[in-house]
Amino acid sequence: MDRLEMAAGGLILAIGIALLVGALDFPLSLNGVPGPGFLPLIVAIGIIACGGTLVWRGVLSPPREGVRWPLMSGWARVGLMLVAMAASFWLMEPLGFIVVTAGFMAVMVYFLGERSWRIMTMVPVLSAVGLYVVFAVWLRVPLPKGIITFLG
Amino acid sequence: MEFLSHLGMGFGIALSPANLLFVTLGVVMGTLIGALPGIGPVAGIAILIPLTFGMNAISAMILMCGIYYGCMYGGTITSVLMNVPGESSTIMTCLDGYAMARKGRAGPALTIAAIASFVAGTFSVVMLTLLAPPIAEAALSFGPPEYFALMMLGLTCVSALTGDSAARGYGMAFIGLALATVGLDPMTGDPRFNFGNLELLDGVGFLPIAVGLFGIGTVLGMIDDTVKIEIMKTTLREMIITRKDLKDSTMPILRGTVIGFATGVLPGAGATIASFLAYATEKKLSKTPELFGTGIIQGVAAPEAANNGSTGGAMIPLLTLGIPGSSTTAVMLGALTLFNIQPGPLLFTKNVDFVWGLIASMYIGNVMLLVLNTAFVPAFVFILRVPYTILAPLIAIFCMVGVYSVNYSILDLWIMLVFGFIGYLAGKLDYPLAPLVLALVLGRPLEEALRQSMKMSQSDPTTFFTRPVSGVIMAMVIAVILWPQLKRFFPKAAAAQAQAEAH
């Protein structure tokens, strides 16, 4: 039994069922031609068919080999990256782009294993300022200034 | 011969100082990105799209195309010097390229790869120049049923041919189509699946999903393992090739070029399958097939020609029909729509400057690629020495600011993050991302074409089969869907596909 295939197929199946329920809220046909619910219904049926096939294949197949899952330390780095990015989104507007970027880079560079003080200070500062110059100055993207409003 | 005057005008645009700068920048950035293991052209283009927002459409596309074929070559550097393919289309180059490097011949391997890339890239652009106008002209007579059939063919091929399971491919394509239905209904304006969120009325952004799947997904894949790989060294002096190297490579380059171009035109096939087919062909034609894999120059020349030859081929369906055949061209199509440029047959009549400026820039880009990659390879190798501890967070923050810069939307950032994790897991579980991205890009025009066709035919679905062009294309769609059952009648093609998937 290939539990990974079953899990992935089950997730796809669930997405299909949710879409099917949602699609039924829209008219399938308007004045004799397909309406807003037509394609979502077809797509939902397709997703359910594919999800069902994958679950069924998972039941029949032997456990899958060759999936290279990371070690615990690898999962920790992946989790840290996701959490650090999520925190950056929360803090982007109150603290501003430069502070958040410098903080994100400092945290990530340190936790990914860098221990040189020179790199740990230079990389965050240069990347924050560099990206600010490219996007805010050159491309005129109104990046949040947050607590550094004096930048104008 | 109208195309010659158009091409002349295109060179006038492409040779402007600003566009020359952008093509050079694109090729350099593409080579650098391609050289980074795991980051291929699709991730490179997706990540760098926001940099093009201040530009006009032609300069933006020139930059993106430069990145596209720059990446194709950049992947070769890691294949030869590290035995790690920069992206999937350079897997075959590892076999003989790295073996040559171990024999102290990394320089000639990289030089012949640059020459092969130049020859194939230029040939494919010449073919694009010659074939695109008549195809676009023929496509002018296409109506919604033909477009629906063409989009179905693109989606079906990509779903069935990428990855080792058609069910996974089709599943991902259907999910992409489901995402494309979010937002206002294209015909009636009814809001669908926006869960009361006003931002979602415009649909789920293409860029957050593409950057998430390919950019953040790649970053997560980069940091989950910390394998240290030895990098072979090379100097400028070692780049010189002998007359024998050139003679041995000539025919493999020419054959690889033709195989690459032809494969590139087909939706779903792409550079990876092209490079495999070219390598397999050379091995089959060789008098000494046992030497392949031991470090012979033919084993580098053929796949390198094929993967660059495919780039021009892939641009034909994109520019003439507006239908991308791969994830890279799907990302390009998505980017173009951000500039209100709609690729398709009308592009050749409505946006003459754009299309011919772009084609002309491809000729220039190939020359730039040859010069840069023979003279500056040692400089490009420098990027391989930047540790992932710096590179990974830098790419992540670049993705963040890039996605934010489109709509200044924090919701887009959350979408990017979620799809980043999905992209990472999909990579682990061998779920192909190309069908999802392609379906996301084609979903809306596909629905419009479907509903317009049904309206025209008063809801008669046989309209797709009774019109000659759409009928032939729909027959091809059915053949692709039934391929798993049909392939027992084509044992050679089935064996080739199985081998390609194994790689």
pLDDT tens figures, A101-117: 999 999 999 999 888 88
- B407 lies within 8 A of chain A by CB: no
Q: What is the rounded CA–CA span in Å between residue B479 and residue B22?
A: 42
Give the pLDDT score at A77. 94
pLDDT in tens, B104-136: 888 888 889 989 999 999 999 999 999 988 988
Give the pLDDT score at B340. 81
Facing A113 at nearest CB: one of B177, B389, B401 = B389
How many CA within 13 A on the CB side of residue B33?
30
Residues of chain A with pLDDT under 50: none
B322: left (phi over 0), alpha (psi -120 to 50) or beta: left
Give the pLDDT score at B64. 86
Q: How many residues does this entry show for chain A?
A: 152
Residues 6 or more apart in contact with residue B354 via CB below 8 angstroms: B57, B58, B61, B341, B347
Per-window interface: B 435-454 vs A, CB < 8 A = 446-447, 450-451, 454
Q: What is the rounded CA–CA span in Å between residue B142 and residue B345?
A: 9
Q: Which amino acid is at A38?
A: F
pTM of the model: 0.84
Cα distance from A55 to chain B (closest Cα, Å)?
Answer: 11
**Contact check, Cβ <8 Å, B226/A113:** yes
Give the pLDDT score at B234. 64
Which of chain A's residues have a Cβ under 8 Å away from the Cβ of B388?
Answer: 112
How many residue contacts between A and B have a Cβ separation below 8 Å? 169
- B461 lies within 8 A of chain A by CB: no
Which of chain A's residues have a Cβ under 8 Å away from the Cβ of B54?
Answer: 138-140
- B201 lies within 8 A of chain A by CB: no
- CA distances for B490 relative to B275, B475, B493, angstroms: 21, 18, 6
Range of lowest pLDDT (B18-32, B85-99, B308-322): B85-99
DSSP character string of B162-214:
SSS-HHHHHHHHHHHHHHHTSEE-TTT--EES-TT-GGGGG-S-HHHHHIIII
Range of lowest pLDDT (B316-320, B463-467, B493-497): B493-497
Q: What is the ipTM of this complex?
A: 0.93
Q: What is the rounded CA–CA span in Å between residue B403 and residue B412?
A: 7
Per-window interface: B 226-245 vs A, CB < 8 A = 226
CB atoms within 10 A of CB B371: 14
Range of lowest pLDDT (B296-310, B342-356, B410-424): B342-356
Which secondary-structure segment (H or E) carries A151? none
Which of chain B's residues have a Cβ under 8 Å away from the Cβ of A119?
Answer: 390
B469, burial (CB in 10 Å: exposed 0-12, middle 13-18, buried 19+): middle
**Contact check, Cβ <8 Å, A134/B51:** yes
- What does the DSSP 8-state code read for residue A149? G
**Contact check, Cβ <8 Å, A54/B171:** yes
Q: Please identify which residue in the block is written with the tokens 């081998």.
A: B499
Q: Across residues B46-67, what is the average pLDDT?
A: 84
More confident of the two residues B183 and B332? B183
Inform me whether the pLDDT recorded for B428 exceeds 80.
Answer: yes
Structure confidence at residue B358 as a pLDDT band (50, 70, 90): confident
Domain ranges of chain A: 3-60, 72-151
Helix (H, G, I), strand (E, B) or coil at A33: strand
**Contact check, Cβ <8 Å, A105/B220:** no
Inform me whether the pLDDT recorded for B447 exceeds 60.
Answer: yes
Q: Across residues B169-185, what is the average pLDDT?
A: 94
Inform me whether the pLDDT recorded for B235 exceeds 70.
Answer: no
DSSP character string of B53-94:
TTS-HHHHHHHHHHHHHHHHHHHHHHHHHHS--SSGGGHHHH
- B12 lies within 8 A of chain A by CB: no
Among candidate residues B328, B353, B356, B289, the one with its CA nearest the CA of residue B125: B356
**Contact check, Cβ <8 Å, B181/A43:** yes
Give the pLDDT score at A37. 93
Q: Which amino acid is at A40?
A: P
Which of chain B's residues have a Cβ under 8 Å away from the Cβ of A34?
Answer: 450-451, 454, 459
Which of chain A's residues have a Cβ under 8 Å away from the Cβ of B193?
Answer: 22, 40
Q: Across residues B395-404, what is the average pLDDT?
A: 88
Facing A34 at nearest CB: one of B54, B219, B454 = B454
Cβ atoms of B449 and B148 closer than 8 Å: yes
Q: From the candidates A25, A31, A43, A60, which should be mutated to test the interface with B, based on the most B CB atoms within 10 A?
A: A43
- B371 lies within 8 A of chain A by CB: no
Give the pLDDT score at B500. 55
**Contact check, Cβ <8 Å, B450/A141:** no
**Contact check, Cβ <8 Å, B177/A8:** no
Give the pLDDT score at B253. 95
Inform me whether the pLDDT recorded for B37 exceeds 70.
Answer: no
What is the maximum span of chain B, computed from C-alpha positions, in angstroms?
Answer: 70
Which of chain B's residues have a Cβ under 8 Å away from the Cβ of A113?
Answer: 226, 389
More confident of the two residues B239 and B315? B315
Residues 6 or more apart in contact with residue B25 via CB below 8 angstroms: B63, B66
Q: Which amino acid is at B422?
A: I
Q: What is the rounded CA–CA span in Å between residue B202 and residue B183?
A: 5
Which of chain B's residues have a Cβ under 8 Å away from the Cβ of A76?
Answer: none
Inform me whether the pLDDT recorded for B488 exceeds 90.
Answer: no
B117: left (phi over 0), alpha (psi -120 to 50) or beta: alpha
**Contact check, Cβ <8 Å, B401/A16:** no
Q: How many residues does this entry show for chain B?
A: 503
Cα distance from B218 to chain A (closest Cα, Å)?
Answer: 11
Inform me whether the pLDDT recorded for B445 exceeds 60.
Answer: yes
Extract the runs of DSSP E, i.e. beta strands, from B279-359. Answer: none
Cα distance from B51 to chain A (closest Cα, Å)?
Answer: 7
Which of chain B's residues have a Cβ under 8 Å away from the Cβ of A29?
Answer: 459
Cβ atoms of A120 and B405 closer than 8 Å: no
Cα distance from B160 to chain A (closest Cα, Å)?
Answer: 12
Structure confidence at residue B493 as a pLDDT band (50, 70, 90): low
Q: Chain A residue closest to B411 (CA)?
A: A89
> In terms of DSSP bridges, do strands B183-184 and A33-34 run parallel, antiparallel, or are they unpaired?
unpaired
- CA distances for B267 relative to A108, B71, B83, B232, angstroms: 39, 20, 29, 36
Inform me whether the pLDDT recorded for B503 exceeds 60.
Answer: no
**Contact check, Cβ <8 Å, A16/B388:** no
Facing A131 at nearest CB: one of B174, B398, B459 = B398
Per-window interface: A 96-115 vs B, CB < 8 A = 97, 101, 104-105, 108-109, 112-114
**Contact check, Cβ <8 Å, A74/B428:** no
Give the pLDDT score at B38. 64
Per-window interface: A 23-82 vs B, CB < 8 A = 26, 29-30, 32-36, 38-40, 43-44, 46-47, 50-51, 53-54, 57, 67-70, 74-75, 77-78, 81-82
- A12 lies within 8 A of chain B by CB: yes
Inform me whether the pLDDT recorded for B90 exceeds 90.
Answer: no
Please give the mean pLDDT across all residues of chain B. 85
